[in-house]
Amino acid sequence: MDRSKATSTDKANSDKAGSGADFLGLNLSGAPVGSLAARLAEGIRDAVLDGSLPVGTRLPASRTLSDDLGVSRGVVTEAYQRLADEGHVEGRGRAGTIVVSSPVRPAAAEPARPRTTSGPVFSDLEDADFVDRLRAAPARIDLSPGVPDLSAFPRAAWLRAEREILTGRSAADLGYGDPRGTPALRVAVSRWLARNRGIRVTPDDVVVVAGVAQAFFLLAHVLRGEGLQQIGVEDPGSFGARQQLRRQGVEVVPVPVDAEGVRVDALRASGVGAAVLTPAHQFPTGVVLSGARRRSLARWVADGGLVLEDDYDAEHRYDRAPVPALRGTLGDDVAYAGSVSKLLAPALRTGWLVAPARLRQKVLALKRDVDLGNPALGQLVLASLMESGAMETHLRTLRARHRRRRDAMVSALAARLPEAEVQGAAAGLHLVVTLPAGLDDRAIAEEALARGVKTHPLSLHRVLPGTPGLVLGYAANSAGSADAGIRVVADVVRGVLDKT
């Protein structure tokens, strides 16, 4: 039974101003009826994660809190159950509902703090260990892009599916599996792509990989073996993808991106035979490849070009209609890669590759040599979530939460850094803010990190000269953390501007 289902009491109170609850200053006024439990759970969850509700705290009785908030008791019990499923609280009978989860990130801090880094992080981008150093750099508030709200991981659904898989499988199922991936997950992925990305493929077209990174590792090796020495990359575009291709011995050729997406005229002029593109939500700018550019790209493909499509966080959209994947329209001239890193968690290291038929056997042979295939148990659990509808449910929850966090960051930027122009807010997990010309965005990011706030300078993701800026992730941060982080960034920028 869905305890958050709207009742007549909820409908009567959903538009009521009310005084809210003294507990955490919670107030559900104005929330849509169907989202009351989710909104309440989020407010309590954020307080647990930022340390406002330490381990051992007893939550108010459901009847008491429902009376304070002017909602039905079922809304509160549903919110408490969600938090229990996620491992944040535990019901202890007459002792009440108790917080059992420790904070995973510290509370918002004041901007002026001693330096926390041991040395410059952005000084040598060509260092082979740069990405690892950046990820490992300590920060009180991490505004790095590309991370969803990991606290929302559907632990209860995952555990249920895992138990069902373990109790329902024979001993033979625990042996070496198909290097392409388990049949169950390849079926589930083919159906997921048809439902959500407009791609019609068979399970035999799908290869399960250890994330998009491995997909492009495999493609780069196979293409280089066929004599392809150069691959085009969007500029600005992912620094990590660019470095990975270089490590595989491929020369990367930057292709400019503007307000309509990648410039296909420049792509054609570059002479490359393949290009890595993020057409549904370009990283990092957030622009969508326009219809005119898609038609030009189709002509480039017809002339022999190959698109390596990274469907980067395409499911996370808020203010625009879904954008179809290129694979769905250009077919087998596109090598398509996606993953659950932005849907569930990067730690799962699970993705999928739909390679052109002419490359598929070579990709599979290399995949077999590299690791004999991904671990099977996690694939089976993921397949169960995809087929049961739990993934769509989780995605809807994430979209609502990410939208609120995006709005909070946009508001913080408008209030604290009005000089910045915000881009890419309609979808994704991050924002791009462009800064006044002449500023050194790497120096700004370095100083912000020294004060405990991690960001990406926009120039990190450029090869060609361009406007300075910052890439700011919002999905993994509460509104309070985001505001505190933006306060630090704004102080750093303002300090630089005052000196110029």
Per residue of the chain (500 residues), give pLDDT as tens.
444 444 444 444 444 434 467 788 788 877 776 778 888 988 898 888 878 888 889 999 999 898 888 888 999 999 999 888 878 888 888 889 999 877 654 434 444 444 444 568 887 777 778 888 898 899 999 999 988 999 899 999 999 999 999 998 887 777 888 999 999 999 999 999 999 899 999 999 999 999 999 999 999 999 999 999 999 999 999 999 999 999 999 999 999 999 999 999 999 999 999 999 999 999 999 999 999 999 999 999 999 999 999 998 888 888 888 888 999 999 999 999 999 999 999 999 999 999 999 999 999 999 999 999 999 999 999 999 999 999 999 999 999 999 999 999 999 999 999 988 999 998 899 999 999 999 999 999 999 999 999 999 999 999 999 999 999 999 998 889 999 999 999 999 999 988 87
Q: Check residue 200 and give its pLDDT.
A: 95
Q: Check residue 371 and give its pLDDT.
A: 94
CATH 1.10.10.10 fits 8-99, yes or no: yes
Q: Check residue 104 and give its pLDDT.
A: 54
CATH 3.40.50.300 fits 130-152+393-499, yes or no: no
Q: What is the CATH number of domain 155-389?
A: 3.40.640.10
**Range list for CATH 3.90.1150.10 in the chain:** 130-152+393-499
**Range list for CATH 1.10.10.10 in the chain:** 8-99
pTM above 0.85, yes or no: no
Q: Check residue 432 and give its pLDDT.
A: 96
Angle at 144 between CA 247 and CA 449, to 5 degrees: 100
**Range list for CATH 3.40.640.10 in the chain:** 155-389
Q: Check residue 20 and give its pLDDT.
A: 64
Q: Check residue 109 and give its pLDDT.
A: 42
- As a whole number of angstroms, the distance between CA 267 and CA 75 comes to 54
Non-local (6+) Cβ contacts of 67 within 8 A are none
